[in-house]
A and B are shown apart, each in its own frame.
Chain A
């Protein structure tokens, strides 16, 4: 979510002063009824009924909570390094964070999106966007790990992403910042924004079998800010809808200058048409540079490939791909109802919610019912695409989810509330306060054809007085509402990591049955695997020392290594020989300018260590593994460069070495 937060907060405080009742509800007691605890309570040892995947915002990760308890189950490292899990520190995972700029250790993940089959969430993968250095990640829900990250050329601020089509044919990525394309000189005066800056939409294909992503094509569009998007579904399958702001094409003080126009746009993209043009060879090849990073579950290793070409379709030349629908003012959410007929725009500075009709839009396009063009893109007449408006719903509408029963739920940032309204008659049915300043909403399957409308979760931007204070930086928060009845009911607050933006939720049964418990050691194809202690060894190749090491409850093999010398690079390739669930082993070495390894059963991971001094260096297991975990340790001896210490390794050798040098 991108808001000119100050301005909205200022607006919020003004509204408070003049006393809009929804702005600052009196207290939590007023909003929570007596049976709330019962509804959110999941007894110890019992499972939650939904997984909730929540963006970690500026943490760069994705968090997984159970619903209705709000318990944090896992933080999946995606775009930021995670020393706890060795993510971005082990040799195997470093390539995952490679980009055309080199290794990038951090990003800002805003929107998770579950894969779908026939418009329903299928629990295979979840995608996430990197907002800063534009990328899309695919997380495999069998392992709850990031399996792939692809970088996006011609882009900056990948915000309207990673929304998908109803059979996960494509994941899209619309650029929030327009920029000069990568293949031209970007060293231009900022005052030439209108001439030189372009907006780019990327369509990333997803392989049906293994999920592998490739950029199928890009569409070059006028230089605006693309904010959010959603695919058509059912009757509107084949179309994609993107909200655009800054249609003023301002390059400074956007807070004021990008809020001038009465209406910005929702851009409708006929991607089936784009596919036809692509097939007909209407795209132009453009040389670019972007990284495609994939993790192989058999070699337990990621590879990063730099790709150098992308095919671009020009929306201005190929006239019937893109159409602009006027939408008041600075639209954020761009949400399509489960039937695919209604497209809801949420203008964050608007005092109404426009609902567009897909049927009317198609008719208006066929009749060329245009009021002109915007930088070469036809602009459909507002009334000709409009189904109707929800009048006076609240202040600062941001995002809408659906319950599949004909109702929509819209978040209101400025008035801090969720409003339930009927799509057909556009009447407001209910409103509940949020604490405070809600951004996105989530209903399980709420942006699919088939929502599972038991709960609604609001992700708030401000918590203020909701939790015990923890200094200047406070907990981030989510709130859970029971929406099974006519009235929404607040049943739980739960803190979240990072800043929660968008989220997805799915019935647990769809995902949990596929969960991998351990990696089969027989299938381990890591080049440095040691399948059994008989295969452990230490090998010197020049100044590189490769340690083929195993771990099992509760020892390493080998656990004594001598003959490492200053100037060496030591690679500990640790294979976890366990073949049962929930038995990871950790590995750490004193003084390593690096993190730990956390090695799952059957997996091999590698820690690189460059000793900085002569001496004895303890190694140990960091993940409590058995009653004798504290005994799971060893030593590595480092000798001066050029010393005659032979390279030896052992486990269980008890003879004393009389030739050891005396300590000084």
Chain B
């Protein structure tokens, strides 16, 4: 019971963080804190990050999906299954129909900010209680992972 309460405390702390800008420690003289890039409306379909208008090919790029599988094995498989089963994080089955391509690409490359801002990500955090780590994926890693997710979802 104690542990559950503890988890909740952390969660509350995270929520508290959410109301502020991203903490950006700076030295008194040199670093100016970055202004928040998007103070206006948050787009819950697109999420937030560098991916905006993602054009998706209706056909699967099998080579790309295969390199995504390799990234998955090293950086994702510890916590995500490719079935519907939740491990540490949710199973991936169906993920490409639950979220837009841009949302997924932004979430896996701009994880911290998305967890803080996105309602769906916050709801997921309440279930999983572990903040998804930022695994520092390159843009190419992210695109290949998305292709792998599409393959998992049965795209040919």
Residues of A within 8 A of B (CB): 42-43, 45-49, 508-509, 518, 520-522, 531-535, 550, 552-555, 557, 577-580, 583, 626-628, 630-631, 652
- Per-residue contact bits, chain B 105-140, to A (CB 8 Å; 1 contact, 0 not): 000000000000000000000000111011111000
Assess whether B99 is interfacial by the CB under 8 Å rule: no
* Dominant secondary structure at the A interface: loop
Which size bracket describes the interface of B in this complex? Answer: 20 to 34
A contact residues around B88 at 8 Å (CB) = 552-555
Closest to B138 in A: A522
* Dominant secondary structure at the B interface: loop
A contact residues around B31 at 8 Å (CB) = 47
Q: Is the CB of B27 within 8 A of A577?
A: no
**In whole Å, how far is B148's beta carbon from the nearest beta carbon of chain A?**
14
19 contacts between A and B (CB under 8 A): A45-B23, A47-B26, A49-B29, A49-B30, A509-B30, A521-B75, A522-B74, A531-B74, A532-B75, A550-B78, A552-B78, A553-B79, A553-B88, A553-B131, A578-B133, A627-B6, A627-B10, A627-B129, A627-B130
Q: Please, how many angstroms separate the alpha-carbon atoms of A552 and B130 in the complex?
A: 11
The verdict on A508 contacting B130 (CB below 8 Å), with A531-B73, A555-B88, A577-B74 known, is: no
Q: Is the CB of B74 within 8 A of A49?
A: no
Assess whether B28 is interfacial by the CB under 8 Å rule: yes
Q: Which of B10, B25, B28, B79 contacts A552 (CB 8 A)?
A: B79
Q: Please, how many angstroms separate the alpha-carbon atoms of A521 and B70 in the complex?
A: 13
B contact residues around A49 at 8 Å (CB) = 27-30
Assess whether B18 is interfacial by the CB under 8 Å rule: no
Assess whether B100 is interfacial by the CB under 8 Å rule: no
A contact residues around B77 at 8 Å (CB) = 532-534
- Per-residue contact bits, chain B 19-51, to A (CB 8 Å; 1 contact, 0 not): 000010111111100000000000000000000
Assess whether B3 is interfacial by the CB under 8 Å rule: yes
Q: Is the CB of A47 within 8 A of B134?
A: no
**In whole Å, how far is A50's beta carbon from the nearest beta carbon of chain B?**
10
**In whole Å, how far is A37's beta carbon from the nearest beta carbon of chain B?**
15
Assess whether B11 is interfacial by the CB under 8 Å rule: yes
A contact residues around B3 at 8 Å (CB) = 630-631
Closest to A45 in B: B25
Q: Is the CB of A553 within 8 A of B25?
A: no
The number of residue pairs between A and B whose CB atoms lie closer than 8 Å in the complex comes to: 84
Q: Which of A48, A532, A554, A579 contacts B134 (CB 8 A)?
A: A579
Q: Which of B11, B28, B78, B136 contacts A47 (CB 8 A)?
A: B28
A contact residues around B6 at 8 Å (CB) = 627
The verdict on A47 contacting B73 (CB below 8 Å), with A583-B133, A626-B130 known, is: no
Q: Please, how many angstroms separate the alpha-carbon atoms of A555 and B77 in the complex?
A: 12
A contact residues around B137 at 8 Å (CB) = 579
B contact residues around A579 at 8 Å (CB) = 75, 133-137
Q: Is the CB of A46 within 8 A of B25?
A: yes
Residues of chain B in range 48-78 having any CB-CB distance to chain A below 8 Å:
73-75, 77-78
A contact residues around B23 at 8 Å (CB) = 45
**In whole Å, how far is A634's beta carbon from the nearest beta carbon of chain B?**
14
Q: Please, how many angstroms separate the alpha-carbon atoms of A49 and B134 in the complex?
A: 29
The list of the 10 closest CB pairs from A to B, nearest first, reads A47-B27, A532-B74, A532-B73, A579-B136, A627-B7, A552-B78, A580-B134, A579-B135, A627-B10, A531-B74
Q: Please, how many angstroms separate the alpha-carbon atoms of A652 and B85 in the complex?
A: 13
**In whole Å, how far is B78's beta carbon from the nearest beta carbon of chain A?**
4
B contact residues around A518 at 8 Å (CB) = 136
Q: Is the CB of B74 within 8 A of A580?
A: no
Q: Is the CB of A533 within 8 A of B28?
A: no
Scoring A554, A557, A627, A631 by chain B CB atoms within 10 A of each residue's CB, the highest score goes to A627
The verdict on A533 contacting B134 (CB below 8 Å), with A553-B88, A627-B10, A628-B7 known, is: no
Closest to B29 in A: A49
Closest to A66 in B: B27
**Beyond the given A49-B28, A533-B77, A557-B78, could you list 14 further A-B residue pairs with CB under 8 A, ordered by the A residue number?**
A46-B26, A46-B27, A46-B28, A47-B31, A532-B77, A535-B73, A552-B79, A555-B88, A579-B135, A580-B133, A580-B135, A626-B131, A627-B11, A628-B130
Q: Is the CB of B26 within 8 A of A555?
A: no
Q: Is the CB of B26 within 8 A of A553?
A: no
Scoring A49, A626, A652 by chain B CB atoms within 10 A of each residue's CB, the highest score goes to A626
B contact residues around A552 at 8 Å (CB) = 78-79, 88, 133
Q: Please, how many angstroms separate the alpha-carbon atoms of A628 and B4 in the complex?
A: 9
Q: Please, how many angstroms separate the alpha-carbon atoms of A274 and B2 in the complex?
A: 70
The verdict on A580 contacting B136 (CB below 8 Å), with A532-B75, A553-B130 known, is: yes
Q: Is the CB of B75 within 8 A of A577?
A: yes
**In whole Å, how far is B52's beta carbon from the nearest beta carbon of chain A?**
24
